[in-house]
Amino acid sequence: MLDILFPKRCALCDGVLSGSEVNFGCCSFCNERVERIHSPRCYACGAPLLSFDKELCDDCVNRPRSYESNRAVFAYGDVVKDSLMRFKYHNRREYASYYGQVINEELGDYIKSSGVKALIPIPIHRNRRKTRGYNQAELLANEISRCCGVEVLDKFLIRSQETTAQKGLSNLERLKNLENSFNVTQDMIQLDKVMLVDDIFTTGSTIEACTRVLLRAGVSKVYALTVAVGQGY
Ligand SMILES: [Zn+2]
Ligand SMILES: [Zn+2]
């Protein structure tokens, strides 16, 4: 009955699913047309590269990077962009199970070989959480954790300030601003390596800011993973 009233929808195109598609969470059409990222990819942000000649994409050459690396399943094309918009702003929370599944398929080895002891979702400010009702990064981290067994730490890193207007600031000032809006809730936590989880990596400044806060709090190494990454080349 519930399935008739609220049919399961494709996480990529939002079309109604049928048969075995229901368990997978994505329609066969989208599964064929939306490519997952494979090598060669940027060593830092994980964006697809055109050839094996380079290690870094053009963006990452000049990007400050304290995190070890980011990996993503999809390049940020139109289909993935619309899907993430619905996931983040239009209450399509159920997409998390599909994203979690493909992340584990594509990045399970990355998570395992990094040796991380915890997954840390990029936090949102409590006011934003109140209006939106959920933090999409937390939903993702929970799904990934269910498949790979690494625990989720969702109370350690918090967003204590909403981002203020960043206009007119230099890149460095922006990053500093962002860094000041995150905090850890306890000191001296015994954490070795952790992995940040977010929906998308665009400029990388959020992941960089969170990494700096975590390293200061005593974490030894920070890795990151996202559903999507902007095109590098
Ligand atoms: Zn679809
Ligand atoms: Zn890159």
Give me the phi and psi of 169, to 5 degrees please: -100, 150
In terms of domains, do 200 and 213 share one?
yes
In terms of domains, do 51 and 153 share one?
yes
In terms of domains, do 1 and 77 share one?
no
Dist. CA 21–CA 155, nearest whole Å: 35
What pLDDT shows up at residue 231?
Answer: 73
User: For residue 53, what are the contacts with CB-CB under 8 A and spacing of at least 6?
Assistant: none
Residue 164, CA atoms < 13 Å, CB-side half-sphere: 11
Q: For residue 63, is pLDDT > 80?
A: yes
Dist. CA 129–CA 210, nearest whole Å: 18
**What Å distances lie between residue 179 and 153, 173, 183, CA to CA?**
19, 10, 8
Cα 225 to ligand 1 centre (Å): 23
The total domain count for the chain is 2
What pLDDT shows up at residue 44?
Answer: 96
What pLDDT shows up at residue 47?
Answer: 96
- 5-36 pLDDT, tens digit per residue, is 788 999 999 999 999 999 999 999 999 999 99
In terms of domains, do 68 and 161 share one?
yes
Domain of residue 22, residue span = 1-33
In terms of domains, do 126 and 221 share one?
yes
In terms of domains, do 45 and 130 share one?
yes
Other beta carbons within 10 Å of 158: 16
Q: For residue 42, is pLDDT > 80?
A: yes
Q: Mean pLDDT over residues 106-125, rounded?
A: 96
Q: Mean pLDDT over residues 65-86, rounded?
A: 96
pLDDT over 90 percentage in the chain: 81
Cα 140 to ligand 2 centre (Å): 22
- Point out the ligand nearest to the CA of residue 55: 2
In terms of domains, do 3 and 75 share one?
no
In terms of domains, do 203 and 167 share one?
yes
What pLDDT shows up at residue 186?
Answer: 76
Q: Mean pLDDT over residues 41-45, rounded?
A: 96
What is the rounded (10 degree) CA torsion for 33, 34, 36, 38? 50
Cα 20 to ligand 2 centre (Å): 36
Dist. CA 40–CA 122, nearest whole Å: 27
In terms of domains, do 118 and 86 share one?
yes
Dist. CA 214–CA 67, nearest whole Å: 10
- 156-203 pLDDT, tens digit per residue, is 999 998 876 667 778 888 889 899 999 998 765 677 999 999 999 998
Query: Exposed, middle or buried: residue 140 (CB in 10 Å: 0-12, 13-18, 19+)?
Result: buried
- pLDDT, mean over the chain: 92
Going by pLDDT thresholds of 50, 70 and 90, the confidence category of residue 233 is low
Cα 74 to ligand 1 centre (Å): 15
Extended strands (E) in 5-122: 70-75, 118-121
What pLDDT shows up at residue 114?
Answer: 97
Q: Mean pLDDT over residues 74-100, rounded?
A: 95
Going by pLDDT thresholds of 50, 70 and 90, the confidence category of residue 3 is low
What pLDDT shows up at residue 2?
Answer: 62
Q: Mean pLDDT over residues 201-221, rounded?
A: 94
CATH code assigned at 144: 3.40.50
Cα 74 to ligand 2 centre (Å): 14
Q: Mean pLDDT over residues 37-45, rounded?
A: 95
* Ligand 1 ion: residues within 5 Å (CB): 10, 12-13, 15, 27, 30
Cα 226 to ligand 2 centre (Å): 13
Going by pLDDT thresholds of 50, 70 and 90, the confidence category of residue 122 is very high
* Ligand 2 ion: residues within 5 Å (CB): 42, 44-45, 47, 57, 60, 232
What pLDDT shows up at residue 1?
Answer: 60
